[in-house]
Structure 1
Amino acid sequence: MGKTGYILLALLAISAGVVYFLIESRGLRTQYESGIRRMQKSTPAAAGTVTERDIQDLPTLVQKYLRVAGAVGREKIRNFRVVWDGALRSDKSGPWMSAVILQENFFNDYSRDFYLTAFMKGLPVSVWHSYQNQQATMQVKIASLISIVDLKGEELTIAETVTLFNDMCLLAPAALIDKRIRWRTVDAQHVEATFTNGKYSIKARLKFRENGELIDFISDDRYYLTAENKLRRERWSTPVSEYREFAGRRVVSRGEAIWHLNEGAFTYGRFLLKSIEYNVMPN
């Protein structure tokens, strides 16, 4: 390799280092971690275990799910920390983007922080969803410098309330004993839930296998982000295909996210659970 080649390699290395520094020091990752620290400080430890008495007023299908999930007899959930491998696309014909996702939810004063990194057209993209104090925000940046999405408001908060409840159902079944959830049995496979957090209430329908596993979550209260960065209420579902045991709890390990649009349904997200930790306390 000649001198020019070494210079080019050095410049590429420097550029990569600058991008990495910007992402770590000025990007959404920093805000994500700051939000989690706030919740760690304000959230008390989980008190007690989930008992048969705690679940006795739930629909039979939900009781069976909590037993199958290993929630009964284990600690109530303060929070969980998750790492996902994911693949995402913006529309039915769009290319899939591989993504690494970090997420942490708290259950005393409900919160959800979700941080995603991917490459779009060769450029690093970071996404931060935050739901704290009954308010949601969503930001997307390229190379931690160029903002391409910056959303907040009532519609986004309703949408993220759906996502928060979806997390509870799929990843934290023990949290379903919360009195802020109202239940209605629909038939032998389905229940309807109304989840309320502050002034926001959303509905979802849950579908279960005969063995008690939850296999789908459907809601008409989530909002789809259009190409014009507008939010539009659409049906949303998250069918799941695999379960695994993590620290004695049996939870979903592989699933999809689907938009059911007037112009046709399409899968926009595929997710593989890499790790999950419950009741993570501050260092």
Structure 2
Amino acid sequence: MTTTSQRPGTSRPPRAFTRRLAAAGLPAGRPSVAPVTEDDLTGLPPAAVRYLRAMGVVGRPRTWSLQAHLSGRFRLGASGRWMPCDAWQYDTAQEVARLYRMRLLLAGALPMWGWDTYRSGTGRMIGKALGVITVADGEGPRFDEGELVTWLADAVLLAPAMLLHPRTRWEERGNDLAVSVTDAGRTVSAQVLLDDDGRPRELRTEDRWADLPGGPVRAPWTTTVDAWTVVDGRPRMTGGSASWHLPEGELRYAEMRLLRLDLDVPPTR
């Protein structure tokens, strides 16, 4: 197990999260302990090599899972009030899978829980107030695509060694990257804008759908990194924001801080 906590010992996942994670039956061990070498980067575009080196991938085993704790604020639309939120997520690389649980406080008092999941090529989103009243429920091809590209974003920003797999394709775009991943017969992609040190400063994709009053609309989606720090000898983002880019302008709907990041932990932890 590799623990890269930014605030050690200050956060534990809620029982609802750990129970669902344990019940998911995800792979529970590292497929190989062999470290990533320079030979593993042979044939990749120079920008990809620069990014992977900058992120501290070389010389370490390939990451097979990540668990993260985030906290910040979230809103449901441009006119919506910002709500406090707390989120836990778990991603795996042997099998492309993602479980994300977010807790919101509506009107500062009413709790709402939302789950975003991706497993076996299927994406799902469900939200419940007070744990019993369904306020959001979505599945189908749009969610399959959106949850898969969100897994890709997680890997790019939090665990880049998860991308060293035949399902990943890299393309150089000047000093930046285009990265795509294929799972269950579906391919999604994102553009990764790199800073002067080779670390991501922004991720952009059009493989997500915004839930608008008139119905779902495919729209550009970005995650912007606030800053980077170094934990256990490799870069870790401190937090970031997520935005939709709509015809009427940018809608920033989430601002989050990364409180804790653990790599290579089993799903029963």
Give the equivalent residue in structure 2 for 1:273. Answer: 258
SS in 2 for 1:250: strand
- Cα 1:274–1:40 shift into 2, 3 Å: farther
Give the equivalent residue in structure 2 for 1:76. Answer: 62
Give the equivalent residue in structure 2 for 1:174. Answer: 161
Q: Which amino acid aligns with 1:233?
A: R
Q: Which runs of 4+ in 1 moved over 6 A?
A: none
**TM-superposition CA deviations, 1:131-153 (whole Å, max 9, x none):** 11111111100000100111111
**TM-superposition CA deviations, 1:181-205 (whole Å, max 9, x none):** 1122121x22222211121111211
Q: Which amino acid aligns with 1:109?
A: E
Q: Which amino acid aligns with 2:155?
A: M
Are residues 1:138 and 2:125 paired? yes
Give the equivalent residue in structure 1 for 2:47. Answer: 61
Are residues 1:216 and 2:202 paired? yes
Is the contact between residue 244 and residue 252 of structure 2 (CA under 8 Å) also seen in structure 1?
yes
CA–CA separation in structure 2 for the residues paired with 1:185 and 1:106: 26
Are residues 1:154 and 2:132 paired? no
Write the mapping of 1:75-154 to structure 2, written as runs, cut at 5 A: 75-121=61-107, 122-154=109-141
Report the Cα offset of residue 271 of structure 1: 1.1
Give the total of aligned pairs: 253
Are residues 1:249 and 2:237 paired? no
CA–CA separation in structure 2 for the residues paired with 1:251 and 1:158: 26
Q: Which runs of 5+ in 1 are unaligned?
A: 1-23
CA–CA separation in structure 2 for the residues paired with 1:39 and 1:190: 36
Give the equivalent residue in structure 2 for 1:3. Answer: none
CA–CA separation in structure 2 for the residues paired with 1:243 and 1:114: 23
Q: Which amino acid aligns with 2:192?
A: L
1:184 to 163, 171, 181: 171
Q: Return the structure number with greater helix share.
A: 1
Are residues 1:234 and 2:219 paired? yes
- Cα 1:46–1:249 shift into 2, 3 Å: farther
CA–CA separation in structure 1 for the residues paired with 2:99 and 2:243: 21
Report the Cα offset of residue 57 of structure 1: 2.1
Report the Cα offset of residue 35 of structure 1: 4.1
Q: Which amino acid aligns with 1:157?
A: D
Task: With a CA cutoff of 8 Å and minimum separation of 6, indicate the structure with the bigger relative contact order.
Answer: 2
Deviates more, 1:37-46 or 1:119-128: 37-46
Report the Cα offset of residue 248 of structure 1: 3.1
| Structure number with bigger Rg | 1
CA–CA separation in structure 2 for the residues paired with 1:56 and 1:216: 25
TM-score by length of 2: 0.88
Q: Which amino acid aligns with 1:123?
A: L
Report the Cα offset of residue 250 of structure 1: 1.1
Q: Which runs of 5+ in 2 are unaligned?
A: 1-13
